[in-house]
Structure 1
């Protein structure tokens, strides 16, 4: 029989605890990465640029009422 297909299972008293700790660490890492990415996107200027372009297109296409356009353009 080929040895790569033999099944070797080793159990010890701390296996469940070790697995739980491992997955809890992995979950914490993933949460940290997700929060870091959300923070990075929040600081990004891309969202602001997209909003400005959307406003320009809306005003150009006449999708905004004249009052809304005047409010946006007049400095407060």
Structure 2
């Protein structure tokens, strides 16, 4: 596995809330060592973890609630 793939795997684990503290520290170090990839991943994190007003939110919960709303609307129809 290339270092770039390893970085993306760690980033994916962070988004899924499956990253360990040790892996989080490793990801932080790798992003500093590889600034081009780091900027791309930071953009992804900004989109995933923040809403339009830059307020932290649990994106997974937000998406889940939108799905539930659509299911309820479909059931009423």
Higher relative contact order (CA 8 A, sep 6+): 2
Bigger Rg, structure 1 or 2: 1
Give the TM-score of the pair, scaled to structure 1. Answer: 0.35
TM-score (norm 2): 0.35
